[in-house]
Structure 1
Amino acid sequence: MFSAYDLKIDSDFFDDTFCTLKNYKNYKKIGENHLSSQLAPFKDKIQKFVLSDTMNGSEIQKKCFPEVDADIFISHSHNDKDLANSLAGWLYEEFGLKVFIDSNVWEYSNNLLNKINDKYSNKQINQNGEFLYDYRSCNYASQHVNIMLSTALQKMIDKVECIILLNTDNSISVFDNHKKTINQTYSPWIYSEILSTQIIRKKPLFYYREYRNDEIRAAFESSSENYFAFQITYDVSLEHLVKLNGSDLQTWLKEYYCGLDKYDDYPLDALYSIKNPKDLEKAKKISICTNEKQKERLQIIKSAIDGDSNAQKKFYEICCEANNLTCADCQGRRCQFKIINGGKII
């Protein structure tokens, strides 16, 4: 994850979008088609695992909750699914950005949980024709599936470049306790996702970029449905999220269309030029590699961010080399971090 945004829009935004003849319904359909294509190859794999008496949770996690290829993760209330699909369609149609929506995984996990309960939770039919399940078996299955779901969502948040919270009255409730404004959510999943954006590592923008050096130099030179009788709320902080609204999205789209030569490879850069300009400039400067040695070093840094211990050790050596010292000279004191491998400091 590079950056996270707190977006406030409604369906009217899509009917007034700059430089397009499409509307809310058009974008909703585009979004649905785009999103359904992501998980289609994995849906048939659920039955394979349920048929086994002993299910391998790690394999289910890997096969049934895949890390799909996406640029943006949208967090939203289930009551805003149509709005989220329209936003996904707008991002995909106007910028070519691939989107992941958490509700796809919610529904996927419910499908898996239903199949597990049908087989293992003593499914019966009462006199009214309603299904009954064993309470403890259902709880046991739910615990495992929810852990798989939570893990899958956290992995996606870590993987994608950009997170967008679709902030509506359905997802975030605002309360005033006379001293300060408190944001709360009734959704445990939105709470978990917002919290994840606070604690998951923030990757530098150059991690996601491979700019063409000639273009960079030229630029610088020229330049709620109720299921229960009770509800639980969670206090959430949105202070770390960059604020976005419909006007910001219009400005982003205009910037993108007016600078296609600059933003064609990375459409999100048009947004960052407005909301994260310093990070964007830094990423471009770092990505200017004039020789093979610099390219190799940049790749080492990216691998170190991914947790590769060998790359981290090489990065440690690069830090010393950059200061004309050997690791023996400074004994690692110049490096402001420690690399732990197997409990030992390398």
Structure 2
Amino acid sequence: MFQGFNLKTTESLECLLANKNSYTNILEQNKKAVYKNIESHILNGTVLDAESIMNDWFPESDDIHVFISHSHKDIKLAEKLANWLYEQFNIKSFLDSHIWNYSNDLLKILDDKYAKNITGETYIYEIRNETTSHVHMMLSSALNKMIDNCETLFFLNTENAIENNTLSTNVENERTASPWIMSELQTSSLIRRKQNINRKILVAEDFRDSDELEFSLIQKSAKFEVSYPVKMQHLTNIDLLDLFYFASLAKNHDGYHALTFLYNEHNGCKFYTHETNESIK
């Protein structure tokens, strides 16, 4: 990941995003290609091959530009943003909710095969704990790799994702009820800052103090009364109006080159491509 953005939205601004489905259709086609018979992942007749499952169900990709982290309640907003980025700049987004759905489907397949009681009406608690642990570890690993592969992260900072909670210490802070949002923001604050291997190398001019170039994160929590603090200091605060201004600047550009205009507006420095040595205004 090269840069992360804390995208704050309002209902009045959300309606400005086009209701197009071009990228949603691509995501749906990708999802259909994921599902394979679990029997094909069994080693020696009994043991499941975790690497084979991860390759099929949670495949890595090097041609995704943006990772969109969001609450499952904001899936429609996340899809609208992904469609807008694709329509405007041919920018491809990764929606984490799609991989969550994969994990739930995979869990159902495994539990039906390995965790059902003899009656077939209930599941064995201990086995279900094991299947859930394994699938969630696969999911977490896949999400971490994708955050590292994508050059940009957008965190949809909505009321569904973040709450301001006052703890017993009377310190008010931003927290999330979602362990996945907590994990994604934590990962994005820790991984190396790097440009994607598929883009032209950007060289920065006139950096400010490195502390000012750090990003920022957010999170919070909910039922069953678990609350996770969230890191957002490494994310750059923007809103949808910033995105629309970015669209006016990056008109007629696409992919990684379009994202460069967003970095130039919100990174405290200007970038130019190494090959051409041309500043991007």
Q: What is the TM-score with the length of structure 1 in the denominator?
A: 0.67
Identity %: 33
* Residue segments in structure 1 that go unaligned for 5+ positions in a row: 18-22, 213-227, 290-346
Alpha-carbon contact 1:73-1:160 (below 8 Å) kept: yes
Structure 1 residue aligned with 2:96: 102
Q: 1:45/1:162 Cα in 2 relative to 1: closer, same or farther (>3 Å)?
A: farther
Corresponding position: 1:60 with 2:53 = yes
Q: How much does 1:4 deviate?
A: 0.6
Counterparts of residues 103-142 of structure 1 (less than 5 Å):
103-123=97-117, 131-142=121-132
Structure 1 residue aligned with 2:161: 171
Structure 1 residue aligned with 2:25: 33
- Relative CO higher for 1 or 2, CA cutoff 8 Å, sep ≥ 6? 2
Counterparts of residues 238-277 of structure 1 (less than 5 Å):
238-257=232-251, 260=252, 266-276=257-267
Counterparts of residues 204-215 of structure 1 (less than 5 Å):
205=195, 207-210=197-200
Q: Which amino acid aligns with 1:163?
A: L
Structure 2 residue aligned with 1:6: 6
Q: What is the TM-score with the length of structure 2 in the denominator?
A: 0.81
* Residue segments in structure 2 that go unaligned for 5+ positions in a row: 203-221
Q: 1:115/1:123 Cα in 2 relative to 1: closer, same or farther (>3 Å)?
A: farther
Q: How much does 1:272 deviate?
A: 1.4
Q: How much does 1:45 deviate?
A: 5.0
Alpha-carbon contact 2:91-2:256 (below 8 Å) kept: no
Aligned length: 255
Q: How much does 1:287 deviate?
A: 4.0
More strand by share: 2
Q: 1:174/1:208 Cα in 2 relative to 1: closer, same or farther (>3 Å)?
A: farther
Aligned equivalents of 1:238, 1:277: Cα separation in 2: 18
More helix by share: 1
Q: Cα RMSD over matched residues?
A: 2.7
The SS at the match of 2:233 is: coil
Corresponding position: 1:42 with 2:34 = yes
Alpha-carbon contact 1:45-1:64 (below 8 Å) kept: no
Alpha-carbon contact 2:67-2:146 (below 8 Å) kept: yes
Higher Cα Rg, which structure? 1
Aligned equivalents of 1:231, 1:146: Cα separation in 2: 20
Structure 2 residue aligned with 1:202: 193
Alpha-carbon contact 1:67-1:156 (below 8 Å) kept: yes
Corresponding position: 1:235 with 2:226 = no
The SS at the match of 1:267 is: helix
